[in-house]
Structure 1
Amino acid sequence: MFFLPKQPWRLLLFTAVLVILPFIFTSKFQLSILLLVGINAIVCVGLNLLVGNTGQISLGHAAFFGIGAYASAILTGDYDWSAIAAASVGLVVSCTIAAAVGWPILRLKDNYLAMATLGVGLVIYLVLAHELAITGGPDGRAVKSVVMAGTRLRGEATWYWIIAGALVLSVWMAENLSSSPWGLALRAIHASEPASAAVGIDVHSLKVAVFVFSACLAAFAGSLYAHAYAFVTPELSGFMRSVELIVMIVIGGLGSVYGGVIGAAIVVILPQVLTVAKDFEQLVFGVMLISIAFVMRQGLLPTIAGVLGARR
């Protein structure tokens, strides 16, 4: 299943853009913003499979991001584990929690599902914020530098290439999954769960599987964030962080792999551009988001693709 997607030119073009970007934006601040875009995009790629393709809302997805970040921070700092081993534990813990809570709560629908995922996210946030001896509490904690083959990985340029490679891998997996029979089954579930079950699709198991997969990508991105920025706080797993992730995929385009990437770029970069507005920054940002929601209801990327297709 997991080879080149049906339209490999899109992945190749996307990779080429990522290769070119650090030669255009060369300052430390610009590279730092690109790192944040890449990390958020990895989360959005998985979350879009869950929300956009399968139609299952999650208002606590940032919790898995926080688990990955804190697993890397705690295990490398307190127990001197390698970064790869610590990240692997973060993935296992996130997958286990996602499977354990996903099996019962994904039987719920609509508002009840949203409330259940919100509850899971709040519980994990409270644990990270109040376990002072382990997590450092509300003030957060520093993260130990990564050393590989005797070389300390530091600097925005180094971490850019690591995160860019991880993003390409995430997009590649999501593209393959979307174009596979499983991807078709996920979209069928989104359209009608009873009809999907009637043709033999194991609806509940597939919903849990995509929930676990998206949680794994979130935890992976959290580990990358922890080492790239060398500091973590409980706010990384907070409710507003989960809402921000939802905003990213809605703006970019629900059900679009690259839409999640575009949405992450817009939400991260736009506030930096709007700093010239000073006191009106939040107002302008809100108005722009509302305008996009009204004018481009399918999201930015699907709307543009639709207009270009209509012209052809």
Structure 2
Amino acid sequence: MAKSLLNSRLLPLVVLAVIVAIVPLVAPSGFYLRVAALVWTFSLAAMGLTILMGYAGQVSLGHAGFLGIGAYSVALGPEYLGLHPLVSLVLGAALAGLIAWIVGKPILKLKGYYLAIATLGFGMIVSLVITGESDITGGPDGMKVARATLFGLKLSGASTWYWVTAGVMLVGAAIALNIGASPTGRALRALHDSEVAASATGIDVAAKKLNAFVLAAIYGAVAGGLIGLMNGLVTPDIAGFMNSIELVAMVIIGGLGSVFGAVVGAAFLVVLPQALTALHDYEQMVLGLLIMVFMIFLPAGIVPALRKLWTERAA
């Protein structure tokens, strides 16, 4: 039974659920729960990139643009349309998916560096629109987000948002794991290895790539919306270029194509800067050095490297 669980695709989900249950027991204050909630939200965004980059093999350097769409949806919806913040979150995810479908059709015909630059351009456009339309979005200063309520209860406080973000993250992880084990996931991995070979076996390469891009956009928009609701404020930084780079780094450091790796990578890049604040001026330098060390000695990512070590020891 235990051996079958170890080989099951449900193992990462079980491990994540256990971690989610343990963290509040060992967290000394609400600050740590808030940091953990940020880990869960960025993990969700990274899972979307895992589907796009890890499964389908398509590079995106503008993924933070979808976070910006989701974040500003929960701010603009209640402000200008009188919508409930959670309804705005759902509509923002749908809008991000629609935009990804429209934008993805032409740019996913590109490959390699050209695709990376095209997605980078998309992210820059979203960031510039958010910053430039100051009469609507508040410009560089951002805008406040209305507090959300659920069944009459106000969603506020580190503990509440910890459980909300953890629950959404677990749902997102379950969906990503099921996609990976489904015929769609196998088709995505096939075109990751060779689009020509995948096409020869009857896989609609263009449609599968577009599906992955839309799914990644929805994951990102939901994560952005949760960040906006949790912080009570959104700024254009959430759609910035550096956020896109950090999301890509999370996926690569944790392990490309690994859902659990997306969580590990997000934890690495969210928690470590908090731990390095004592270094002040050297914080970014040390963080960059650690990322370089991981890429040199664990090029496949943390989770695949640990899995390989476990398999070798078991053998």
Bin for the TM-score computed over the shorter chain:
over 0.9
Residue 109 of structure 1 pairs with residue 111 of structure 2: yes
State how 1:82-231 maps to structure 2 within 5 Å: 82-231=84-233
Offset of residue 311 of structure 1: 1.4
When residues 26 and 82 of structure 1 are mapped into structure 2, their CA distance, relative to the original with a 3 A threshold, is farther
- Identity across matched positions, percent: 41
Q: Which residue of 1 aligns with 2:307?
A: 305
Offset of residue 53 of structure 1: 1.4
Contact 1:6 1:179 in 2 (8 A): no
Cα separation, 1, equivalents of 2:87 and 2:16: 29
Offset of residue 26 of structure 1: 3.8
Q: Which letter does structure 2 place at the counterpart of 1:88?
A: V
Match of 1:81, SS state, is coil
Number of matched residues?
Answer: 309
Offset of residue 6 of structure 1: 4.3
Contact 1:58 1:118 in 2 (8 A): yes
Offset of residue 181 of structure 1: 1.0
Q: Which residue of 2 aligns with 1:253?
A: 255
Contact 1:186 1:206 in 2 (8 A): yes
Contact 2:48 2:215 in 1 (8 A): yes
Offset of residue 12 of structure 1: 1.9
Contact 1:64 1:94 in 2 (8 A): yes
Q: Which residue, 30, 33, 38 being the options, matches 1:31? A: 33
Match of 2:149, SS state, is strand
Considering only aligned residues, what root-mean-square deviation do their CA atoms show, in Å?
1.4
Contact 2:34 2:161 in 1 (8 A): no
Unaligned segments of structure 2, at least 5 residues: none
Q: Which residue of 1 aligns with 2:281?
A: 279
Match of 2:154, SS state, is strand
Cα separation, 1, equivalents of 2:8 and 2:206: 27
State how 1:46-85 maps to structure 2 within 5 Å: 46-85=48-87
Cα separation, 2, equivalents of 1:84 and 1:274: 34
Match of 2:123, SS state, is helix
Contact 1:159 1:228 in 2 (8 A): yes
Q: Which residue of 1 aligns with 2:240?
A: 238
Q: TM-score, normalised by structure 1?
A: 0.96
